[in-house]
Structure 1
Amino acid sequence: MANLLDQLKAVTVAVADTGDIAAIEKFTPRDATTNPSLITAAAQMPQYQAIVDDTLKGARETLGATASDKEVASLAFDRLAVSFGLKILEIVPGRVSTEVDARLSFDTDASIAKGRDLIEQYEAAGVSRERVLIKVAATWEGIQAAKVLEEEGIHTNLTLIFGKHQAIACAQNGITLISPFVGRILDWYKKDTGRDSYEPAEDPGVVSVTEIYNYYKKFDFKTEIMGASFRNIGEIIELAGCDLLTIAPALLSELQSTEGELVRKLDPVAAKAMDIEEINVDKATFDKMHAVDRMATDKLAEGIKGFEKAIITLEEILSKRLAELEA
């Protein structure tokens, strides 16, 4: 009998949720996705020191000797995500997701400018924009920035999706892909209810992604759904059939080493037959739905704050390493 990972790949695109290039080589996903926390972790691994050092040296050359270490580290942060993305694209046949600075999550114009800059870096390195997804936090401002980028032929991945209102707004604005955070939704409900665990089929994160999937397929939205942030393989098994699932190396390994029958749970034909009400999500509706969804409100704010913290940590690491290189 085939292992669960091979069976999953037959019905869902498997994406590696990591900045660790060695892990991507091991599991041969079609796509890969990174975020500030993953890039920060990868940047501290000895095997990737050369990438970090080359990026720092390039940033120094660009800004010149008079620029402060902090200024060089800030530019290097922007470039490092692309540096890792370029390495990843040498391995995966599909796309890599590269994230806009989380500190810009509520600034539409700055997010647009940053998205354009990231694509320019990839294209300058000879990579087509078709192979890159620009990740933007799914605030209302982020969604509007992504809409503009999509209109310019820059494909986007709207991250930190916790509520149905975010998902619908993304679909209505022509976003290429969304990343609902399954495990973080579960974390919130466990804390809020005091429950230690949920069965996979009733896991609140699984229920949320299933609802979004059925809504998209019912109304023929082209936006892809990529479940993310998993806590266990039970969640992944329950979402077999989702467009994409981005999975951390530890869970990819567990799926690969587990044999059994994998049953497809999400199906577009079944979704078409469902009785689902279509909702138009403008800004007023988005704000209203977000305000009454305690989980989405809490987790979106927490997620942005967490990514901001990772960026600051990485910039401090880069600044320290630059001082060592130039000592």
Structure 2
Amino acid sequence: MGSYPDTVNLLEYLRSRSQIDCDSLDLELATELGPFVDCTSNQADSYLELLLPQRKAILERSAALGRQLLSEYPGVKYEQLAVEIAMVNLSLAITPLITGAIHVMSNPTLTSTSEIVENAQRIANLCRRIAPDFDMSRLCIKVVATWEGLQACKSLTALGINTLATTLFTMEQAILAGEVGCIYIAPFVHELKAFFDATYDDGGPNLNLCVEAQRYYKERHCVTRVKAAGLLNAGEAKQLAGVDSMTIAPELLRTLSNTHEAEIGITDSSIFERETKASGQKIEEHSFVNEERKYREAFARSYDGKGKWKTQEAINIFCEYQIKAEGLLRDISVTSPTQRDLLLQC
């Protein structure tokens, strides 16, 4: 590699300003560009990873264990349980390559608070069962930022289970997530659809939500931290330098790793740098945790209704991949001898 006088590697510079996480379950990527702190994942990541030939053993092992444990979880369909096991297995595989937590997403098709709580507890139990020596403080459950999902986070916090509020597009969601004790929120810089449809124009990034939420939490000494998600390019990453954390997809990670720029120019790009220098009044405090009607009305109005629409669109996409993953596990046929061999590996 040639020298770059008076420049810095962009990925390493960002690591000096923010926690950098891997938004992928790709073991080769984590080895190549790590160490990362956390690893975030979702139903789409998991489904696409399970299609890879090198993941066949995890796919079959998860199917076998799902059949074995099904009777222990009345009311849960085999394919749902098997997907949960597969997602836990994929996340556990990457833990030796990261220094922080794995973020496993709960089933996005579940809509009631009680269902989400039960689902998250089951994921935690599966994690303990598959890896008894795993430090459970390194597990974080990603929960969709609906009213019901965030109320589930409140219950899970009381149970000692870490949560992250995902599919988050508004300050109303951010405020409630802080009130219920989420350790992270993941504001989406872009609509999720922009990552699955190259022709889709979502109108540009919403970077200010990350700034506003982080400032709100710090002013009130909240435990909740901002983990920016859904970045599309290096320019957005530079602007977010200084955010608590950002989780970055593989293609952009490689771009950042191969980019060298003058440090002063990168620093000047940061909206957090400008926020630090600016003196402003505190953001007005709100409380929604015990005010469902107030929250729903404020959320519905946020960004002229676009926040609510973007949230539902993102949830719908994750639901599609949940269903695809269930179909993949449903179609796995495990013969008895192989099943015994696979179960011995669990």
The TM-score bracket by the shorter chain reads 0.7 to 0.9
For 2:46 and 2:157, how far apart are their aligned partners in 1?
A: 25
What is the CA-CA distance between 1:41 and the residue it aligns to? Answer: 0.6
12, 35, 56: which is aligned to 2:63?
A: 56
Q: Is contact 1:217-1:268 (8 Å) kept?
A: no
Q: Name the count of aligned residue pairs.
A: 312
Provide closer, same or farther for how the CA distance between residues 181 and 196 of structure 1 changes in structure 2, counting only shifts above 3 A. Answer: closer
Structure-to-structure mapping, 1:13-32, within 5 angstroms: 13-28=19-34, 29-32=36-39
1:75 to 74, 81, 90: 81
Residue in structure 1 matched with residue 212 of structure 2 by the alignment: 211
1:122 aligns with 127
CA–CA distance in structure 1, aligned partners of residues 144 and 66 of structure 2: 26
- The 8 Å contact of residues 73 and 316 in structure 1, kept in 2 or not, is answered as yes
Name the structure 2 match of 1:92: 98
- With over 3 angstroms needed to count, the CA separation of the structure-2 counterparts of 1:258 and 1:217, relative to structure 1, is same
Task: Pick one of 284, 292, 305 that aligns with 2:293.
Answer: 284
Structure 1 residue 152 displacement after superposition: 1.5
Is contact 1:158-1:179 (8 Å) kept?
Answer: yes
Matches of 1:267 and 1:217 in 2, distance apart?
Answer: 15
Bigger shift: 162-171 or 288-297?
288-297
The CA deviation string for residues 119-159 of structure 1, in whole angstroms up to 9 with x for no partner, is: 11222312122101111001011111111111121110110
Matched to 2:231, the amino acid is F
Q: Verify: 1:233 aligned to 2:234, yes or no.
A: yes
CA RMSD of aligned residues (A): 2.7
Contiguous gaps of at least 5 residues in structure 1: 65-69, 188-194
> Paired residue for 1:317?
328
Q: Secondary structure at the match of 2:100?
A: coil
Rounded Cα–Cα distance in structure 2 between residues aligned with 1:305 and 1:131: 28
For residue 93 of structure 2, what is the amino acid of its counterpart? K
Report deviation, 1:269. 8.4
Farther-moved stretch of structure 1 (72-81 vs 25-34): 72-81
Distance 2:208 2:271 in 1: 12
Aligned to 1:192: none
| TM-score after normalising by structure 1 | 0.88
Match of 2:10 in 1: 4
1:53-77 per-position Cα deviation (integer Å, ceiling 9, x unaligned): 111122223348xxxxx94333211
The alpha carbon displacement at 1:11 in A equals 1.1
Identical residues among aligned pairs (%): 28
| Match 1:144 to one of 134, 151, 167 | 151
Q: Give the structure 1 partner of residue 142 of structure 2.
A: 135
Question: SS where residue 159 of structure 1 aligns?
Answer: strand
Query: Which residue is 1:190 aligned to?
Result: none
How big is each residue's C-alpha offset from its partner over 1:172-209, in whole Å with a ceiling of 9 and x where there is no partner?
A: 1221110011021896xxxxxxx9697xxxx5411222
Q: Are the counterparts in 2 of residues 185 and 295 from structure 1 also a CA contact under 8 Å? A: no
Structure 1: distance between partners of 2:224 and 2:309: 25
Match of 1:252 in 2: 253
Change (3 A) 1:314 1:43: same
Measure the CA separation in 1 of the matches of 2:223 and 2:277. Answer: 14
Q: Within 5 Å, give how 1:40-55 maps onto structure 2.
A: 40-55=47-62
Q: Any conservation in 2 of the 1:218–1:268 contact (CA below 8 Å)? A: no
CA contact (8 A) 2:60 2:334 kept: no
State the TM-score, normalized to the length of structure 2. 0.83
Per-residue CA deviations over 1:287-320 (Å, capped at 9, x if unaligned) read 0112113211111111111111101111111222
Is 1:170 equivalent to 2:171 in the alignment? no
1:196–1:52: structure 2 CA closer, same or farther, 3 Å change rule? closer
Quick one: distance in 2 between partners of 1:14 and 1:172? 25
How many angstroms apart in 2 are the aligned matches of 1:93 and 1:295?
A: 36
Measure, in 2, the Cα distance between the counterparts of 1:204 and 1:287. Answer: 24
SS at match of 1:102: coil
> How far, CA to CA, are the matches of 2:258 and 2:97 in structure 1?
22
Change in Cα spacing, 1:50 to 1:214, as seen in structure 2 (3 Å) is same
Q: CA deviation at 1:4?
A: 0.5
